Chain A
Amino acid sequence: MSFFRQVLAVTMMNLKTILERSGSSIVIIVGIAGSVAVMVSLLAMAEGLNSTIASTGQDDRVIILREGSNSELSSGVGMQEIDIVLNSPGVETIDGNALVSGELFVIVDLKKKGAEGTSNLPLRGVQPMSFKIRPELEIIEGRNFRSGTGEVIVGKGAYDQYEGLEIGNKIKIRDNFWTVVGIFSSDGDVHESEVWADLSVTQSAFRREGSASSISVKLEDKKTFDDLGGYIETYPNLDLKVQRESDFYEDQSSGADLIKYFGLTISIIMAIGAVFAALNTMYSAVSTRLVEIGTLRAIGFNGSSVLLSLMLESMILATIGGLLGALIAFVLFNGMTVSTLAGGSFTQTAFAFAVTGEVVKQGMILALVVGFFGGLLPAFNAARQDITTALRSV
């Protein structure tokens, strides 16, 4: 009881002096806010990219690539191979039609808004079944393209990022003009960073008649994966790799991990700097209060209550710094859409920074760790200082 009262009294006193020592208190707050802001921003970026890519995959859908390929860009499948998949077991059907679609994945150069030069924008040539396989895809403006024409629809991520993708505009791809007729959303997944067109028109424009990059399949049930997989694997002279869509996109999200580790490294380096700032602040806070601490100890306050209250002071400053840093990251970046090269496809994926509770929690943990280590030594020193020596230092 008395111990609690001691700690409270000394802590309140320390906090009152923070305002008087605002200069050095600001150093610790700003130092911690800086490293937390960097950490939260970079983690929010990784989080956003990760959730965009990870949300793309569904485990009752399958993507089939050429054996040995890790991305759609490096994969090629023939139209006769698509026919084999059409007749495979385990595949969902509607009115007797298998939910299987060959898709040609190519790259076009377009100018990004506010950027010099051009960037890689993925163009996906699809069959009508593609829309049945992906019911989350929704035309939010305009209409869908008509089969056999040079019409395209544009994902809203691509629409936001690139120039000239407004409805009615013509874009020049491979000596042909294509007309934008609609904009689609797709639950925030990677397809929103793509342009979609008719498969056969795309094949002829890119001189890829008779071939596609991948085959998308909707399973009867996620459990029928093995039926399809086993059938394709044992089919004579067929070199195809069957993967659940969720597994495929998980592999593609290594870019997000990279950002995350980069972010953690940078913020740990900054945090080490912040620990020194905190150490410095707390040492000077303690040294200007040596006589006060000595007086309290003479009166009968014990060393551990002095130690605990100095630690509390450091942790409180750290908390303020951490919250400030998270707030800065949130205000500057949350929801901001950017795009990056993601996965093995060397195409641009648009995603939004996501300052989630989890990310903020990690930032606050960093702040408290810095506050703890910054406060520990000075507090320990002050608490075990000889009372007589402390009182002498007038």
Chain B
Amino acid sequence: MSNNLIEVDAINKTYERGGETLVVLDDLSLNVPENDFLALMGPSGSGKSTLLNLIGGLDSPTSGSVRIKGDRLEKMSASALSNWRASNVGFIFQFYNLLPVLTANKNVELPLLLTNLSSSKRKEQVATVLNLVGLDDRGGHKPNELSGGQQQRVAIARALVSDPAILVCDEPTGDLDRETATEILELLQILNRDLGKTILMVTHDPVAADAAKRILYLDKGKLTES
């Protein structure tokens, strides 16, 4: 038994486009131990998001295996994968992806609707995570009444609320100014250090990447360490 939380083993990911085969990930392997904070860099189109989506259980590899805590993701049915995501992964996106008609409270509550928690328990948990990201006074606001940084904090709260082991972040600071980006990165570091979250973060920004414990580069379908 290894102590790796995530084991990506010899995966290939190809797309067929107009009769041509586009190889995005080429026989790629990756191990991520528990409580790691990994930054993934590389040129645009190199497949960073693709790799992240495979680990997050949003997509499946053309071949190879993705094993997380012993679960083989590529062997799961769509609905099993859906349930797996709900309890194991929190997603944080570049453009926050909050639902515009819902308040911050309701956005954060969404993942809890997939559990059997009572309404009062859910409210309690929402308040806890909003407090954790420093937004306890903004729960009643809709996304368009919040700044970009605040929206990303709501999104982080949503990713945290069902207490998943893994946070998957695709350019989480890509749409923020330097100062706000730094605040978000500091928040991620706290989650990694104090709550023991394992974090995978795609970024184009070397400063952001420096917040991580280690940095990997993806190019031409292969990973290299710095």
Residues in chain A within 8 A of chain B (CB atoms)? 1-2, 5-6, 9, 13, 16-17, 20, 291-292, 294-303, 386-388, 391, 394
Contact = CB atoms under 8 A, between A and B. Distances in A.
Contact of A17 (B83, B95, B101, B115): B101
Given A295-B99, A296-B110, A2 B115 contact: yes
A309 to B, nearest CB: 12
B26 interface: no
Given A9-B110, A300-B114, A295 B86 contact: no
Contact of A299 (B49, B110, B116): B110
Contacts of A299: 85-86, 91, 110-111, 114, 158
Given A296-B110, A299-B85, A302-B78, 19 more contacts: A1-B116, A2-B113, A13-B99, A13-B101, A16-B101, A16-B102, A17-B101, A20-B101, A291-B97, A292-B97, A292-B100, A295-B99, A298-B58, A299-B91, A299-B158, A300-B87, A300-B111, A301-B114, A303-B79
Contacts of B158: 299
A300 B83 CA distance: 6
A93 B181 CA distance: 104
B56 interface: yes
Contacts of B95: 394
A96 B43 CA distance: 112
A6 B114 contact: yes
Contacts of B86: 299-300
Nearest to B99: A292
B86 to A, nearest CB: 3
B31 interface: no
Across the A-B interface, the 7 shortest Cβ-Cβ residue pairs: A300-B86, A16-B101, A295-B97, A302-B82, A300-B85, A5-B113, A387-B58
B82 A301 contact: yes
A391 B111 contact: no
26 contacts: A1-B116, A2-B115, A5-B113, A6-B114, A9-B110, A13-B101, A13-B102, A16-B101, A292-B97, A292-B99, A292-B100, A294-B97, A295-B91, A296-B110, A298-B56, A299-B85, A299-B86, A299-B111, A300-B83, A301-B110, A301-B114, A302-B78, A303-B78, A303-B79, A388-B50, A391-B93
Interface in B76-113: 78-79, 82-83, 85-87, 91, 93, 95, 97, 99-102, 110-111, 113
B85 A298 contact: yes
Given A13-B101, A388-B53, A302 B115 contact: no
Nearest to B162: A300
A6 B102 contact: no
A43 to B, nearest CB: 39
A292 B101 CA distance: 11
B59 interface: yes
Contacts, number: 70
Given A16-B101, A291-B97, A300-B82, A9 B113 contact: yes
A13 B98 CA distance: 12
A303 B58 CA distance: 13
A6 B113 contact: yes
B82 to A, nearest CB: 5
Contacts of B85: 298-300
B116 to A, nearest CB: 6
A288 to B, nearest CB: 11
B82 A2 contact: no
Interface in B96-155: 97, 99-102, 110-111, 113-116
A1 B113 CA distance: 10
B109 to A, nearest CB: 9
A302 B53 contact: no
A2 B158 CA distance: 18
A83 to B, nearest CB: 84
A388 B101 contact: no
A107 B102 CA distance: 71
Contacts of A17: 101
Nearest to B158: A299
Contacts of A1: 116
Contacts of A5: 113-114
A292 B96 CA distance: 11
A6 B79 CA distance: 14
A113 B56 CA distance: 77
B169 to A, nearest CB: 13
Nearest to B95: A394
A294 B91 CA distance: 12
Contacts of B59: 386-388
Interface in B17-58: 49-50, 53, 56, 58
A387 B82 CA distance: 11
B206 to A, nearest CB: 24
A13 B111 CA distance: 14
Nearest to A304: B79
Contacts of B102: 13, 16
A190 to B, nearest CB: 58
Contacts of A301: 82, 110, 114
A297 B115 contact: no
Interface string B54-69: 0010110000000000
A300 B100 CA distance: 19
Contacts of B50: 388
